[in-house]
Amino acid sequence: MKKPADTSCRLHDPIQQRWSPRAFADRPVEESDLKSLFEAARWASSCFNEQPWQFIIAIKANPQEYERMLSCLVVGNQEWAKLAPVLILTVAKSTFDHHGKPNKHAWHDVGLAVGNLVIQATTLGLSLHQMAGILPDRIREVYEVPQGFDPVTALALGYVGDPSLLSEEMRQVELAKRARKPLAEFVFGGQWGKAASIVE
């Protein structure tokens, strides 16, 4: 299934094609493809080149590890994320290496790394669904995440599956039209709240 973005101009193909499915096919992801996703994440920019991102990965081929990671998601996400052949947790380092002060942009930079990862995944024909619905305390406990590191999101990764794999409620969401705010609502010119002329 495809759900391309309905855009006002043509975009780079993986941006146009990316969407967040809940139904994943029962098909494993090649290790070399997985490695390339983290290589893409590695080359994201970050504040002071701190690279505050950490990833923890579990694949279905290792059921014990997979179940352990699945148990770190809220139940509503477990319901569909259990279809994905790969689960990933993202973790941010909250202070700078060079002077130990708080890094206010750590989560921002984890997001940039995930942005790279998502685009690489889409280019390889893979799909990814990000989740804020995680259990940070459980992640901390299960993976012995040290102080100064914060769980940020989980990612479900794999090939798009048939929506019939989902519950009726989830299927409705899966098939729903994608929506976005118009550009004029968030691109301003000289005055706050007033659309820049390029997007009017």
Ligand X SMILES: Cc1cc2nc3c(=O)[nH]c(=O)nc-3n(C[C@H](O)[C@H](O)[C@H](O)COP(=O)(O)O)c2cc1C
Q: Check residue 116 for interaction with ligand X (CB under 6 A).
A: no
The answer to whether the beta carbons of residues 20 and 129 sit under 8 Å apart is yes
SS3 30: coil
By CB under 6 A, residue 120 contacts ligand X: no
| Rounded Cα gap, residues 107 and 51, in angstroms | 11
Residue type, 157: L
By CB under 6 A, residue 130 contacts ligand X: yes
Using CB under 6 A as the binding criterion, the count of chain residues that bind ligand X stands at 9
Give the neighbor-by-neighbor strand order of the sheet with 53-59.
53-59, 86-93, 149-158, 127-131
Using Cβ positions, the residue closest to ligand X within the complex turns out to be: 133
Among the residue ranges 45-53, 100-108, 124-132, 140-148, the one whose residues contact ligand X (CB under 6 A): 124-132
Q: Between 19 and 38, whose beta carbon lies closer to ligand X?
A: 19
- Alpha-carbon distance of 156 to 58, in angstroms, equals 10
Euclidean distance between CA atoms 17 and 6, whole angstroms: 10
Shortest CB 151 distance to ligand X, Å: 12
Which listed residue (16, 20, 46, 123) binds ligand X by CB under 6 A? Answer: 20
Q: Considering the rule CB under 6 A, would residue 55 count as an interface residue with ligand X? A: no
Smallest distance from ligand X to CB 83, Å? 12
Closest to ligand X by CB, 51 or 122: 122
Query: Under rule CB under 6 A, which residues in 167-196 are in contact with ligand X?
Result: 178
Q: Do you know the residue count of the chain?
A: 200
- Candidates 180, 165, 150, 125; CA nearest to 53 is 150
70 binds ligand X, rule: CB under 6 A: no
For the chain, how long is the longest CA-to-CA vector?
55
The minimum distance between CB 152 and ligand X, in angstroms, equals: 8
Please say which residue, 165 or 196, places its beta carbon nearer to ligand X: 165
Q: Which stretches of the chain are DSSP H helices? A: 13-17, 31-42, 63-70, 75-81, 106-123, 136-143, 168-175
Binding site for ligand X (CB under 6 A): 19-20, 77, 130-133, 153, 178
